[in-house]
Amino acid sequence: MTAEILSRLPLLAKWSGRMIQIKTPQEIELMRASGLVTAGAIAAVKAAVRPGVSTGELDAIAEDHIRSKGAVPNFLGYHGFTGTICASVNHEIVHGIPSPERRLVEGDNISIDCGAILKGWHSDSAVTVTVGEPSPEDAALLEVTERSMWAGLARALAGGRLTDISAAVGETISAEAHPYGIVDNYGGHGIGTEMHQDPHVLNYGRPGRGPKLVPGLALAIEPMVTVGDPTTVELEDGWTVVTKDGSRAAHFEHTVAITPEGPWVLTAEDGGVAGLAPYGVTPRT
């Protein structure tokens, strides 16, 4: 390759035999633009959640929003996936396939997982919401899952180690009086010119291990938490992951960039200001 072409390629850092993509400040800016598209799509879908709406209708709302911003959905067609969003309901943890026949009812919990590609750069985010008023059990499940995500994001600090994030997520969940389950085998990931990149980000573990957190590293942090046993089963559709015992689950996710000024939550409208404030962390905005 010529020097000119090489200068335009994302930097790669080697760790444990794997290559981790490190972005320039300009590339992180492009990821922020992609992240705002995804944030807007999720907000539009959340606003449409109500009894009687189908997950297929929600999928169409997300796709329309993403395309209206000049971006394309990164889930649609990914290894044959047929939706713009993953719509996972109640005991479905992740990768639920949206359908015009699947209609939400009062009391359902739905995980809305969505991503976009803008100018070649990916973003990925998820939120779980209740249709109507949540039960106390559901409200507590959603609260601890979202809080564990923010605890992890607050540790996305230059100079730290990858498992600092993992430990913060897991410790937040394990500190609860209710014995919540932390889903194994699924977790966060690097993100950039592909939706899924190294490194894999566990939602539990000891701090101080793994690759160093350096400016230009972008990660998707996504805890998946169950009310009961976290053992999972993949359905015959080859996508939908459910709890084996039928207990309810929740899933939250944000894409974050490590910067010299602090974490920059690329898929949060405010860059992470509100979510990181309880941890005394000021994000780049």
pLDDT digits 0-9 by tens, 224-258: 999 999 999 999 999 999 999 999 999 999 999 99
Q: What is the pLDDT of residue 50?
A: 98
Confidence band (pLDDT; 50, 70, 90) for 11?
low
Question: Helix/strand/coil (H, E, C) string of the chain?
Answer: CCHHHHHHCCEEEEECCEEEEECCHHHHHHHHHHHHHHHHHHHHHHHHCCCCCEHHHHHHHHHHHHHHCCCEECCCCHHHCCCCEEEEECCEEECCCCCCCCECCCCCEEEEEEEEEECCEEEEEEEEEECCCCCHHHHHHHHHHHHHHHHHHCCCCCCCEHHHHHHHHHHHHHCCCCCCEECCCCCEEECCCCCCEEEEECCCCCCCCCCECCCCCEEEECCEEECCCCCEEECCCCCCEEECCCCCEEECEEEEEEECCEEEECCCCCCCHHHHHHHCCCCCC
**pLDDT of 196 higher than 90:** yes
Q: What is the pLDDT of residue 5?
A: 33
What is the per-residue pLDDT across 125-141, written as a single tens digit (0 to 9) for each? 999 999 999 999 999 99
Q: What is the pLDDT of residue 10?
A: 54
pTM for the model stands at 0.94
Q: What is the pLDDT of residue 18?
A: 65
**pLDDT of 7 higher than 60:** no
**pLDDT of 34 higher than 90:** yes
Q: What is the pLDDT of residue 12?
A: 57
**pLDDT of 3 higher than 50:** no
**pLDDT of 43 higher than 60:** yes
What is the per-residue pLDDT across 89-117, written as a single tens digit (0 to 9) for each? 999 999 999 999 999 999 999 999 999 99
Percent with pLDDT over 70 in the chain: 94
Q: What is the pLDDT of residue 285?
A: 83
Residues 186-213 have a mean pLDDT of: 97
Q: What is the pLDDT of residue 4?
A: 34
**pLDDT of 15 higher than 60:** no
Q: What is the pLDDT of residue 2?
A: 37
